[in-house]
Structure 1
Amino acid sequence: MKLDQFRTLIVAIDTSTDMLACTAAWWIPEVFFDDTPSRACVEVLASRDHLCRRQANVELVETVQGVLADAGMRMEDVGGFLVGRGPGSFTGVRIGISTAKGLARGANVPLMGASTLDACAWTAWGAGTRGLLGVAADAMRGEVYPALYALDDVGAHRMFERERVVKAAVAVEEWAARSDASELQLTGDGLVRYGKLFEEAGLMGRALDPELWRPTGEGLLLAAADPEAYNRIESGDPALVLPIYTRLSDAEENERKRLGLAESVNTAVTGVAEELAGRHLQFRPMAAADAEPMAALEERVFADAGHEAWNASMFLSELFSDAAAARSWWVAHDNGELIGYAGGMVVDRDIEILNMAVAPEHRRAGIARKLLSHVSYDAQMLGCTSASLEVEDGNTAAIALYQSLGFTEVGRRRGYYGPGCDALVMQASLPLVLPVDPASPEPTAAVQREWPLPEPERTPEESAELKRRQLILAIESSCDETAVAIVDAEGNLLANQVSTQIDFHARFGGVVPEIASRKHVEVIVGVVDAALEEAATSLGLAGGAVAPAELAAVGVTYGPGLVGALVVGVAFAKGFAASAGLPLIAVNHLEGHLFANKLTTPDLEPPFIFTLVSGGHTMLVHVRAWGNYEVLGETLDDAVGEAFDKVAKALGLGYPGGPIISRLAEDGNPCAIDFPRALNSRGDYRFSLSGLKTAVTLYIEQETKAGRTINLPDLAASFEAAVFDVQYKKAKNALRETGAREYCIGGGVTANPHLRRMMIEKLGRQGIRVTVPPLKACTDNAAMIAVVAREKFLRGEFAPLDIDADPNLTL
């Protein structure tokens, strides 16, 4: 990270606890070259630390602006931001980091991260505390983040390697058993909730003043200025700053069983099944049925090289191993054919890659990189900090791939592959370097780059054209896809980037909110960068990317959706808008699905009837005017998308269910099975799919019990027909009742070809103009959010910087 030669204005923020810490200070880097304490590196100018329970996303950006005003500074004076990475409240950590990423990316300045536990220790150090200090930060659920420090006149020194979480009683027992327990001083907000436990163990007698129990902005600055911490700061790139997690999500805790950390092993197919022929390039955890095709591919790939190939039994032994070491195996397949695999074994915080292969005709498509990324992700879940592998000396293609991922040679095994044929031992730190390139379209990790980015040099004509076009950047993060689009004031879509998380959720059979939120934090900077670069290309600009200050506004989905996912997008957008000096536009996700139809039919105007069919919503709407919506009916239970997912899961077909059912239905008879149509009476616009779902489940049970083979295509087609018949009849009745002559549809299920075709043909015969959105704008995407943001921008409808996510927002 490059800093000013003499001093740099740094703003430090932390929302990991119920203390909103925010401080502006001069950062004086040259003191790192002498022996003075790190306190001399920080000159506090202004601070607004205050208790802020559950309001951090509302107050944070305006607090930053207030601190700068108190210091007599402006946003453009800031040379860098510093954020507390936790551990702490999951939501609080994400709010702080997402806001900081937005602030740093919008201002094009460095972002640093520091441990919140370190900040607590340095807060105590700054108040004059010396000696042995125990930080017990509240981790909820009866747990604390315990950390021991030795404080001397130089600073606060860690007495542990990495942050962890334990039951509060365990921390009390450990500390009380120390030979120097009588010297232990205590701090941390965990003392508020669990102080009685510490008091009963005789440890509260040396507790610090409660005013020091929470991190401060100055403490965070001191922690980051500590020479040891400073040397760990890499480039200042905001994409590289990630939360410190000490606990897996509940779904991932269960995933540990699949990885071999429990007695029982889940042998069910948790990803995409054989019936998914036609879906392109899917990744999922290895299942028992994969052993034979893996062995066949192994024989094909390695036979010519003269190496001994693994057989099916060897692959199966990895899946059902009773060994203590955990395993992670992933496969890739295309059009129903297994085309690659990779797997490894965890040994002492290192994932040893045991085997990897990709079919020759599918190489140079980023498949090996994606497989290794999934294996290494599992390894990180299991506490690994490195990955290692062996590769034949002379295999230049493989060595180049591994080097691009961050692997370096650490040893050599002479004659391992035969006389004169050595094996190179290579190792890399986790997470792996996963560049964004044409072979890896989803920006799953940050590109290694110099930061800040060079400012583009524009000709007067280019600057004038950008000002005239009024570019609007829109962010969508309501569920499991991080999406960013850029549109101009004339409605031209200049960029549309999506990073999907489907591979991470497929193993669980549905979206896991905690994982979705974590992945949004990881990729949001990369997706924004990709959109800014795509927009520059669309406009024919030199300089690599549109700069944040060259935009006209920032739009963001603020609801409805998963609250943890929405928070990331909203926090980032507010920070980005504030630091770039841009107005903020808040967009209703449901309205985005409605406006997606204008991408196909720009002259679409109310009144008309609109059906929303997605994974989380099913509703019929009378659009009287833009912004004037009458919801005629909604689902009483499952949304259409949910029903598809549940039926697919009942059939063991994997996730997501919509594309799987649609593919099977192409070869099925929709009249083969007479499934019920609920609430199908005229004038009733409500929807209910729980009865249909139950009917399908009972049919599966009855046929299985009778020993009859289920015709999957017929079942899929009959299920689809039952769902879509109701959608059509309710739309037809609403059109007749309201007198509207236009109809449109939106949501992820709108990508279903049978639904699109049925609505266009049947309603078209009645003289109704039917509009369907482009296929790429059916599922969650930012293009539809950008269209709404453009309309609001032209009307001057801007949002305040204290807006928060609203997971229950209605249309």
Structure 2
Amino acid sequence: MIERVLAIETSCDDTSVAIVDRSGWVHSVVAASQDLEHELYGGIVPEIAARNHSIALIPLIEEAFKKAGMSWSDIHGIAVTNRPGLIGALIVGLVTAKSLSQAKKIPFLGVNHLEGHLLAPFLKDSQYSPPEDFGYPYVGLAISGGHTSLYQIKGLGDYKVLGATRDDAAGECFDKFAKMAGLGFPGGVRVDQLAKTGNPEAFEFPRSMIHDDTFDMSFSGLKASGQRMLEQLGPELVQEQLPDLCASFQEAIVDVLIAKLDRAAKVYRAKRVILTGGVSANSRLRARAEKWAAEKGLTLVVPPIRYCTDNAAMIGYAGVLRMAQGETSAMDLGPSPQALTTDFK
């Protein structure tokens, strides 16, 4: 019986390893950030990401075992992200998982990175556990640098895509604005920090599709508007008004996300909603979502930041649940930059 797995996540630029059991308990989760390596280029360089994964992964596996106080005899399977993501980065994790699977004679399973995000609220550790009344079904908003989508989650493997961004992801929009404003990479966190002392009504930015009769979103127009605003103001005024610019730009993104989440909750009569993905770490989005949920009488679950950003714990939980049902992957499993057509409805 599959009760506990070692999990590997290398879909983008963060290398992460975790040990997770079927109850969702995270025995250990460790990670290596590559922010400093990519900052020079103002964005993620796939080749650099893959190389750094290959350097960090084995030491992280050893650290995960040490932190959990476990050995390979405690592990019944290996869960690894194989889709969607950067191909070179995924290959490192997938080849490592296959090699360990053969060496240790235990099964492995390729996991959809987005499924991990959608199940992250169920994770548990000594500082976090979901509310007692949390369970299926629920509506989920997954927001990151590569994805911004709304889902209805009815159960394990039963996910319906309600809507998504038609162009840029919210996280990408944050990072590009930060880069144009000279804040460096990764920029989303820095926009959030500066916005705390700014006026969100100081500048007017577009909120594309906010009143559209769908669950879809668009952020390319906002990004273009941000670029024009920065160019019109010029370097000196931009620096003087950075907090207001960041607060106003951030508010435009948050307004759209909350509006779409509200519409989904109404249409699907949801009693439970989640925020997940790296952008759900944004303090303004969390505060607005908490206020909205309280006003609507909904249960809102937002995992702690360590389980919102890319992490192996969420991959381990999705993997151990599926492996407990008898699912495994064959040695010819390959990486994919996209989800499979069978992953979502």
Q: Is contact 1:475-1:484 (8 Å) kept?
A: yes
Aligned to 1:744: 274
Q: Is the 8 A contact 2:22 2:317 kept in 1?
A: no
Aligned to 1:794, which of 311, 324, 328?
Answer: 324
1:646 maps onto 2:179 in alignment: no
Aligned residue runs from structure 1 range 649-664, under 5 A: 649-664=179-194
Query: 2:113 matched to 1:584?
Result: no
Shift of 1:787: 1.3
- The structure 2 residue matched to 1:480, chosen from 2, 6, 13, is 13
- Hey, what's the Cα distance between the residues in 2 that align with 1:501 and 1:689? 26
User: Which of 560, 579, 583 is the matching residue for 2:84?
Assistant: 560
Q: Which residue of 2 aligns with 1:77?
A: none
Determine whether 1:523 maps to 2:53.
Answer: no
The 3 A distance-change label for structure 1 pair 469 and 795 is: closer
Equivalent pair of 2:230/2:238 in contact (CA under 8 Å): no
Q: Show the counterpart of 1:370.
A: none
RMSD: 1.7
1:696 to 213, 216, 226: 226
1:508 aligned onto 2:38: no
* SS of equivalent residue, structure 1 residue 642: helix
1:264-296 deviation per Cα after TM superposition (whole angstroms, max 9, x unaligned): xxxxxxxxxxxxxxxxxxxxxxxxxxxxxxxxx
Counting only pairs closer than 5 Å after superposition, residues 330-369 of structure 1 correspond to structure 2 as none
* Residue 601 of structure 1, aligned match among 124, 130, 138: 130
1:592 and 1:669 map into 2 onto residues whose CA distance is 35
Indicate the residue corresponding to 1:775 in structure 2: 305
What is the rounded CA distance, in whole Å, between the counterparts of 1:526 and 1:707 in structure 2?
A: 46
Q: CA–CA distance in 2 between the matches of 1:490 and 1:729?
A: 33
Once residues 705 and 801 of structure 1 are traced to their aligned partners in structure 2, the CA distance between those partners, rounded to angstroms, is: 54
Report which structure shows greater RCO (CA 8 Å, sep ≥6).
Answer: 2
User: Does the CA contact (< 8 Å) of 2:24 and 2:122 recur in 1?
Assistant: no
Structure 1 contact 549–581 (Cα < 8 Å) conserved: no
3-state SS, counterpart of residue 99 of structure 2: helix
Deviations 1:697-730 (A, max 9, x none): 1111111189676411111010110001000011
TM-score normalised by L of structure 2:
0.93
Contact 2:2 2:320 in 1 (8 A): no
Deviation at 1:471, TM superposition (A): 2.7
**Structure 1 CA distance, aligned partners of 2:321 and 2:151?**
20
Q: Which amino acid aligns with 1:601?
A: P
Residue identity in the other structure for 1:583: P
Partner of residue 667, structure 1: 197
Cα distance in 2 for residues equivalent to 1:764 and 1:626: 27
Identity of aligned residues (%): 39
Displacement of 1:806 in angstroms is 1.3
Deviations, residues 212-260 of structure 1 (Å, cap 9, x unaligned): xxxxxxxxxxxxxxxxxxxxxxxxxxxxxxxxxxxxxxxxxxxxxxxxx
Equivalent pair of 1:613/1:619 in contact (CA under 8 Å): yes
Specify whether residues 469 and 577 from structure 1 end up closer, same or farther in structure 2 by C-alpha distance, changes over 3 A only. closer
Q: 2:292, 2:34 → 1: CA distance?
A: 36
Q: 1:511 to 1:676 in 2, by over 3 A?
A: same
234, 237, 243: which is aligned to 1:713? 243
The CA distance in 1 between the partners of 2:305 and 2:262, in whole Å, is 23
Name the structure with the higher helix share.
Answer: 2
TM-score, with structure 1 as normaliser: 0.40
Maintained 8 Å contact 1:478/1:559: yes
CA distance in 1, matches of 2:11, 2:32: 13
CA distance in 1, matches of 2:2, 2:25: 9
| Aligned counterparts of 1:529 and 1:706: Cα–Cα separation in 2 | 49
| Structure 2 letter corresponding to 1:740 | A
In the alignment, structure 2 segments of 5+ residues that lack a partner are: 124-128
- Kept in 2: contact 1:675–1:692 (CA 8 A): yes
Q: For the pair shown, which has the larger CA radius of gyration, 1 or 2?
A: 1
Aligned length: 335
Q: Distance between the aligned counterparts of 1:575 and 1:705, measured in 2?
A: 52
1:144-293 correspondence runs (5 A)? none
Match of 1:760 in 2: 290
Cα deviation, residue 740, structure 1: 1.3
Rounded to whole Å, the distance in 2 between the matches of 1:522 and 1:640 is: 30
1:707 to 1:774, Cα distance in 2 relative to 1, 3 A: closer
In 2: Cα distance, 1:481 partner to 1:598 partner: 22
Partners of 1:708 and 1:608 in 2: how far apart?
41
594 and 705 in structure 1: CA distance in 2 versus 1, 3 angstrom threshold: closer
Contact 1:675/1:719 (8 A) holds in 2: yes
Secondary structure at 1:637's aligned position in 2?
coil
Map of 1:21-100 to 2, 5 A cutoff? none
Do the aligned residues in 1 keep the contact of 2:82 with 2:90 (CA within 8 Å)? yes
Measured in 2, the distance between the counterparts of 1:688 and 1:764 equals 27
- Deviation at residue 681 of structure 1 after TM alignment: 1.8
The Cα of 1:797 is off from its aligned counterpart by 1.6
What's the counterpart of residue 211 of structure 1?
none
Change (3 A) 1:769 1:702: same
Structure 1 unaligned regions, length at least 5: 1-467, 537-545
Return the letter of the residue paired with 1:568. Answer: V
Partner residue in 2 for 1:493: 26
* Residues 1:619 and 2:143 are matched in the alignment: no
Counterpart secondary structure, 1:765: helix
1:729 corresponds to which of 239, 259, 272: 259
Structure 1 residue 585: Cα displacement: 1.8
Say if 1:583 and 1:799, in contact at 8 Å, map to a contact too: yes
Conservation of the 8 A alpha-carbon contact between 2:2 and 2:324: no
Per-residue deviation, residues 638-681 of structure 1 (Å, max 9, x unmatched): 11111111000101110001110000000011111111100112
* Offset from partner CA, 1:736-788 (integer Å, 9 cap, x none): 11111110011101111111111111122111110001111111111111111
Find the counterpart in structure 2 of residue 113 from structure 1. Answer: none
Q: Are the counterparts in 1 of residues 170 and 219 from structure 2 also a CA contact under 8 Å? A: yes
Go from structure 1 to structure 2 and tell me whether the alpha carbon gap of 1:707 and 1:804 turns closer, same or farther (over 3 Å shift): closer
Distance 1:746 1:593 in 2: 6
Q: Which residue of structure 2 lines up, in the alignment, with residue 384 of structure 1? A: none
Worse-superposed segment, 609-618 or 755-764: 755-764
Deviation at 1:626, TM superposition (A): 2.4
Other-structure match for 2:126: none
Local SS of the residue matching 1:653: coil
8 Å Cα contact 2:2-2:323 kept in structure 1:
no
**Is 1:534 equivalent to 2:67 in the alignment?**
yes
Match of 1:548 in 2: 72
CA separation in 2, counterparts of 1:491 and 1:597? 9
Q: Could you say if the C-alpha distance between residues 675 and 551 of structure 1 is closer, same or farther in structure 2, counting changes exceeding 3 Å?
A: same
The amino acid across from 1:561 in the alignment is: G
